[in-house]
Amino acid sequence: MHVVTRFAPSPTGSLHIGGARTALFCWLFAKHHGGKFLLRVEDTDRARSTPESIETIIDGMKWLGLDWDNKDYEGRDYYSQFDMRGRHADVARQMVAEGKAYYCYASPQELEAMRAEQKAKGLPQRYDGRWRDRPASDAPEGVPPVVRLKTPQTGETTVTDAVMGEITVQNSQLDDMVLLRADGTPTYMLAVVVDDHDMGVTHVIRGDDHMTNTFRQVQIYNAMGWDVPTFGHLPMILGPDGSKMSKRHGAQAVGEYREQGYLPEAVCNYLLRLCWTHGDDEIIPQKKAIEWFDLGSVGRSAARFDFVKLKSLNAHYIREMPDNELAKLAVPFVEKKLGKKLAPANVDLLEKAMPDLKPRASTLLDIADMSAFYFHEGAFDFDAKAQKIMTPEAGDALKELAARMEGMDDFSGSALEEIFRAYAEAKGVKLGAVAQPLRVALSGSTVSPPIFHVADLLGKTETLKRIAAAL
């Protein structure tokens, strides 16, 4: 199957998680079929479109690993809808010439009054076609008209959606939408259709908030005699409480997930599983996703976003990642936590500590929090719990054990553990009774990775230094 998909965000903000999901699905569908995936920025709204927003969206796509095929297009890495405005206007004029569209001179105020009246009467709010059949001679002087599509008022329109199935709407429900604004710029409705057609888009995959637009857009395809692409509408992503996703629910922008230490693999896997399934499979690496993806397995109902599940998926991908790669990703987070650059030796230490850190972390932020103590300089400030562990008796024991450590040639974790175990057994106490004070001395906390291994990584000199500082 010949496949061309596109992601068409409007550059009026960041790349939202819902947009990322749409982009992911478009990308997966194209990759699955060996087709093309295009990026088109819908920037016809000049007042709200910003270059910063375009950058943010592109950054987000790159971070997620969703590469598109229209790079280096006229000095840009994406299609700009605004660039095609001339073409859009030509199409609109062609439709007027062919009697498929007409000029409407109704002012915005007039239309507002019309809608208000309809609403008051409990009538459906739509353009009443007041200029649909009026002769050109009725045109008022000096009023720039908009171009409206002459939509069929009888019959019905059926769309076979690759996700939602067959959906039919009565044409009487559709009104004559604006194609070209009074200032000659195209509306979204016209621009998407023309661009999708011109770009050879075969599959329009987007959020289902566009479902009802589809019937209107089909009218434009029909008026122009163009092939209608296959549509696939994806269900909405809702906040945890079932209402529309908003700031109060948590991170919305893809960039925020990045800053919070999420891995793109986890975000993609989570987004994929949110409304698409492959039996009982939960962990779906990118390669498998491309192999398995299809539109038929996309669910039809809106899904609630579950930050906890995303986190557990992120934890999984952290555990799977090779230590060196993970350390590299974690460095900026650790440096931010520490407020200073990490020396090469410390980066090395971070990588060596990774096997201990990985199973304990859900995000890169967690890794930064848990690993900060390795790089700590000077004495720790013990919290109440730590102070409770550091009793005079514990101090005496540590002092004795430190003396034994001095003489160790093999300062490995297992050798240390042996010494501590032997000591504990001789004193008739549990290992924890001596291991916990060591943990507090070395990490400044009652919680840390396995403490003998920590000592091993810190080295004999640093370990003894920290014990001395703690006593």
Per CB under 7 A, contacts with RNA among 319-378 are 319, 359-360
Q: Which is nearer to RNA, 37 or 188 (CB)?
A: 188
Give yes or no for residue 50 binding RNA (CB under 7 A).
Answer: no
Give yes or no for residue 70 binding RNA (CB under 7 A).
Answer: no
Beta strands in 81-214 (DSSP E): 101-104, 146-149, 156-161, 165-170, 178-180, 203-207
On whether the CB atoms of residues 11 and 53 are closer than 8 A, the answer is yes
Give yes or no for residue 273 binding RNA (CB under 7 A).
Answer: yes
Among 52, 209, 256, 383, binds RNA (CB under 7 A): 209
Q: Output the smallest distance, CB 132 to RNA, in A.
A: 14
247 counts as catalytic: yes
Give yes or no for residue 45 binding RNA (CB under 7 A).
Answer: yes
Among 169, 199, 402, 419, binds RNA (CB under 7 A): 169
Q: Output the smallest distance, CB 441 to RNA, in A.
A: 12
Phi and psi, residue 38, nearest 5°: -110, 155
Give yes or no for residue 167 binding RNA (CB under 7 A).
Answer: yes
Restricting to residues 275-294, which ones interact with RNA according to CB under 7 A? 275, 277, 279-280, 282
Q: Which is nearer to RNA, 297 or 340 (CB)?
A: 297
On whether the CB atoms of residues 79 and 70 are closer than 8 A, the answer is yes
Among 160, 297, 387, 412, binds RNA (CB under 7 A): 297
Give yes or no for residue 2 binding RNA (CB under 7 A).
Answer: no
Among 127, 262, 293, 317, binds RNA (CB under 7 A): 127
Q: Which is nearer to RNA, 349 or 416 (CB)?
A: 416
Among the listed ranges 52-60, 123-131, 222-230, 397-405, the one in contact with RNA (CB under 7 A) is: 123-131
Size of the site for RNA (CB under 7 A): 87
Q: Which is nearer to RNA, 46 or 339 (CB)?
A: 46
Q: Which residues contact 360 (CB under 8 A, 6 or more apart)?
A: 366, 370, 449
Among 70, 171, 173, 230, binds RNA (CB under 7 A): 173
State the DSSP code for 73: B
Among 162, 199, 236, 372, binds RNA (CB under 7 A): 236
Of 84, 78, 83, 81, the C-alpha closest to 62 is 78
Phi and psi, residue 150, nearest 5°: -85, 90
Question: In angstroms, rounded to a whole number, what is the distance separating the alpha carbons of residues 325 and 264?
Answer: 14
Question: In angstroms, rounded to a whole number, what is the distance separating the alpha carbons of residues 445 and 382?
Answer: 7
State the DSSP code for 167: E
Give yes or no for residue 274 binding RNA (CB under 7 A).
Answer: yes
Among the listed ranges 40-48, 249-257, 334-342, 343-351, the one in contact with RNA (CB under 7 A) is: 40-48
* Separation in Å, CA 24 to CA 30, 110, 165, 207, 290: 10, 42, 21, 12, 10
Q: Which residues contact 288 (CB under 8 A, 6 or more apart)?
A: 281
Q: Output the smallest distance, CB 194 to RNA, in A.
A: 13
| Contact flags string 80-119 toward RNA, x per CB under 7 A | -x------------------------xxx--x---x----
On whether the CB atoms of residues 235 and 299 are closer than 8 A, the answer is yes
Of 314, 317, 347, 343, the C-alpha closest to 331 is 347
Catalytic residue among 247, 309, 460, 465: 247
Neighbours of 214 (CB within 10 A): 20
- 3-class SS at 195? helix
| Contact flags string 140-159 toward RNA, x per CB under 7 A | ------x-------------
Q: Output the smallest distance, CB 79 to RNA, in A.
A: 12
Among 10, 70, 230, 286, binds RNA (CB under 7 A): 10
State the DSSP code for 98: T
Give yes or no for residue 463 binding RNA (CB under 7 A).
Answer: no
Among the listed ranges 129-137, 176-184, 249-257, 335-343, the one in contact with RNA (CB under 7 A) is: 176-184
Beta strands in 221-312 (DSSP E): 230-234, 237-238, 303-304
Give yes or no for residue 134 binding RNA (CB under 7 A).
Answer: no
Restricting to residues 385-404, which ones interact with RNA according to CB under 7 A? none
Among 50, 94, 125, 391, binds RNA (CB under 7 A): 125
Task: Evaluate the CA torsion angle 442, 444, 445, 446 in order and state its sign.
Answer: positive
Question: In angstroms, rounded to a whole number, what is the distance separating the alpha carbons of residues 451 and 438?
Answer: 7
Both structure tokens of 82: 């605004």
Q: Which is nearer to RNA, 32 or 35 (CB)?
A: 32
Q: Which is nearer to RNA, 309 or 399 (CB)?
A: 309
On whether the CB atoms of residues 12 and 49 are closer than 8 A, the answer is yes
Q: Which is nearer to RNA, 111 or 290 (CB)?
A: 111
Q: Known catalytic residues?
A: 247
